[in-house]
Amino acid sequence: MSEQDSITSLVDYGTTWLPGSYSTLSDIVDVQFNVILWFSVFGTIGITLVTLYFCLKYKRTKKNQVAQKQIAHNMTVEVIWTVIPLIIVMGIFYWGFRDYLRLMVAPDDAMEIRVVGEKWRWYFEYPDTDKRPSDDLVVPVGQAVKLVMSSKDVLHSFFIPNFRVKRDVQPNRYSHLWFEATKIGTFQIFCTEYCGAQHSNMDAKLIVMSRSDFEEWKETGEDTETPLPILGKRLYKSKACNACHSIDGSRVIGPTWKNAYGTMRELESGESVLIDDNYLRESIVYPANKIAKGYPNVMNSYAGLLSDREINALIEYIKTLKE
């Protein structure tokens, strides 16, 4: 079986209860979830049944007047129903805390990857390479990976359901998360903290590769072959420009790209500029320099995040959107 064949589909929904489990620690989370869940289910049903039984048994009737008697104290019963639950709950606490530490503390040999969240996309930086930020989180199988995460704007939350890991991602502060993938495949990453209009589009792919494929992937440079407009079209989605710019004339958060090239753009400053290559480039790299009239200044700079070729590709793509 080749590596391609063994790639699992995006999002393994698993059972009714939980999505498929693909990291070294996801099983311990599941075991604990299931034990506590079923313990609670039996507890709830058991207590309800006993309550109902007592209600009927000790119901006050003409024949049975015992129910009138008040019982203030029963030491034996009270000690039993305090000590037994205490032991059970402390056991769950010990177990939970021990596994919590395993989830929180990354092993020393973990590989570090930086995660940046911004409205409305994730991107991933590999500190030990000169690779450009990646739109997919690519990791080798069987290797502990530690994510160092921060946000450029608001609070986001990074969630890989199949790995049972989730953590808030804040501005001006780093949060951490670690995992070790057990299988080669592609998995879904979500943002699970409502972060504005396009929050539901804030997802990414986690691609788990064999170690040799991963080493190869790290070495691959940028795409120099795809024709510019086609590459631009791909980047429009992968760099999440589509969260704020439409290509069909509709207004999202920013101006549509349809029929934009070659027309005049009114700016907040009162000036007008021709939408040409220079204006487009400046708008991508320094969006705050010239604000389109009537639009909020919410676009992040893509300086350093897009190569020259990628910026050219986006411009060429915008040019093709003329009718």
Q: Which residues bind Cu ion (CB under 5 A)?
A: 156, 191, 195, 202
Phi, psi of 10 (to 5 degrees): -65, 130
Residue 194: closest CA among 120, 115, 116:
120
The only residue of 287, 313, 316, 319 in contact with ligand HEC, by rule CB under 6 A: 287
Number of residues located near ligand HEC, criterion CB under 6 A: 26
Residue 160: closest CA among 140, 180, 184, 188:
188
**Residue 260 interacting with ligand HEC (CB under 6 A):** yes
Exposed / middle / buried, residue 189 (Cβ in 10 Å: 0-12, 13-18, 19+): buried
Closest to ligand HEC by CB, 110 or 228: 228
**Minimum distance, C-beta of residue 135 to ligand HEC, in the bound complex (Å):** 11
Q: Which of residues 77-136 bind ligand HEC (CB under 6 A)?
A: 119
| Residue whose tokens read 């007008």 | 272
The only residue of 102, 114, 183, 265 in contact with ligand HEC, by rule CB under 6 A: 265
Residues in a beta bridge with 116? 123, 150
**Minimum distance, C-beta of residue 179 to ligand HEC, in the bound complex (Å):** 28
**Minimum distance, C-beta of residue 244 to ligand HEC, in the bound complex (Å):** 3
**Residue 202 interacting with ligand HEC (CB under 6 A):** no
**Minimum distance, C-beta of residue 323 to ligand HEC, in the bound complex (Å):** 16
Q: Could you say which of ligand HEC, Cu ion, none residue 295 binds, taking C-beta under 5 to 8 angstroms by partner kind?
A: ligand HEC
**Minimum distance, C-beta of residue 173 to ligand HEC, in the bound complex (Å):** 21
**Residue 253 interacting with ligand HEC (CB under 6 A):** yes
Compute the C-alpha angle 62/67/72, nearest 5°.
Answer: 160
Q: Could you say which of ligand HEC, Cu ion, none residue 280 binds, taking C-beta under 5 to 8 angstroms by partner kind?
A: ligand HEC
Q: What is the identity of the amino acid at 62?
A: K
Phi, psi of 56 (to 5 degrees): -75, -45
- What is the Cα Rg of the chain in Å? 28
Q: How far is CA 27 from CA 162, 210, 248, 249, in A?
A: 10, 22, 45, 48
For binding to ligand HEC (CB under 6 A), which residues are involved?
119, 239-241, 243-245, 253-255, 260, 265, 275, 280, 283-284, 287, 291-292, 295-299, 302, 314
